[in-house]
Each structure stands twice: as structure tokens, then as C-alpha cells.
Amino acid sequence: MKLPARFILSALLALPLGTMAGTAMASDAAHNHGHEVHGTMELNQGQKWETDAALRQGMGTLHQIVSTGLESAHANALKADDYKKMSGEIMTQFTYIVENCDLEPEADAQLHILLGNIVQGVETIEGKVSGEQPEDGLIKMAQALNSYGSHFDHPNWKGFNISH
């Protein structure tokens, strides 16, 4: 049986990746369309959080998707179908990360805040946030990925230069 992506997203966010307080924050973000995610990302006693191979792989692929999307958006080359396809690709990676990433509980809580920000970007890309354009969702995604690079240890991570 094929379930709608929104149902899967809600279910995945409700499932704890570990025992932590961030689940409620990320889950709330998935249901509060267009609202800021509650909680502030923090470092691990001044150091970046450890990552695992699944997280690095999924985030690397998200980076590629968003990078390509931003380039195309700046060239005014994206149509509604392109955004829909990109949203699906992002959700595929999101699902991969949630199903395969295995972090310590404190790092996991930080990841859930980040995933909530990614959900906000996806909802904007899908046109579900009043007053915002799909390209604004790409910018939100790039900001979330920059935050990932600032808070998680991912060798050779390159952030986005965002001027918005």
C-alpha cells in the first residue's frame, strides 16, 4: 500500500530516533505550517555533533538537490513540476535519514530541530506556506543545511552563500 508523503512524514517525525526532547519540536514543526521551529540548535559543549555514514550520505544528497535547485531558480528555469519533483527527492532523503541515522540522544535531538527546519522548507517549496514562493523554500533548505554544517561534524561540508 502506498501512503501519502505527508502521512509518512508525520509518522516518521513522531517516531523517536532516540530518546530525546526534540521529537516534539520537530513534530510540531511538521504540523504548524509556516511557523518557526521551536528550539535553538546548540553545539556539543562547543564542539560539533558526531555524525554517522547514513546522515552524511543523506545530507550530502540534500545539499546536491538544493544546490541544483538554487542554480535553476536563479536562472528562472524551474516550473511547478520541477518543484514537485524536487520536493519528492528531498522527502526521499529525509526518509532515508530518519530510517537509517543512529546518533546519540543529544545529537539526535539537535537533528530533529534541523529536520523540522527542512520540513518547513519542503512545505514552502510545495506552495503550502501563504505569502511565500517555492524558491523561498529552497533558501530555507539552504539555511537549514548551513546550520547542519555549523553544528554537525561532516568532513569537507560546504555551506551555501545565501543573500536573501
- What CATH number should be reported for the domain holding residue 143? 1.20.120
Torsion angles phi and psi, residue 47, rounded to 5: -115, 155
- Cβ contact 108:122 at 8 Å: no
At 150, the pLDDT band (50, 70, 90 cuts) reads very high
Number of domains in the chain: 1
The answer to whether residue 147 sits within a structural domain is: yes
Using the predicted structure, report yes or no on whether residue 142 has a pLDDT greater than 60: yes
Q: 3 lies in a domain?
A: no
**Mean of the per-residue pLDDT values of the chain:** 81
Does residue 118 contact residue 141 with C-beta atoms inside 8 Å? Answer: yes
Alpha carbons within 13 angstroms on the beta-carbon side of residue 91 total 22
Q: Could you report the per-residue pLDDT of 54-101, keeping only the tens digit for each? A: 999 999 999 999 999 999 998 999 999 999 999 999 999 999 999 999
Residue 93 lies in a domain: yes
**Is residue 124, in this structure, part of any structural domain at all?**
yes
Give 51-65 pLDDT, tens digit per residue. 999 999 999 999 999
Residue 162 lies in a domain: no
Query: 137 in a domain, yes or no?
Result: yes
Residue 7 lies in a domain: no
- Spatial separation of the C-alpha atoms in residues 70 and 67, rounded to whole Å: 5
pTM of the complete model beyond 0.85:
no
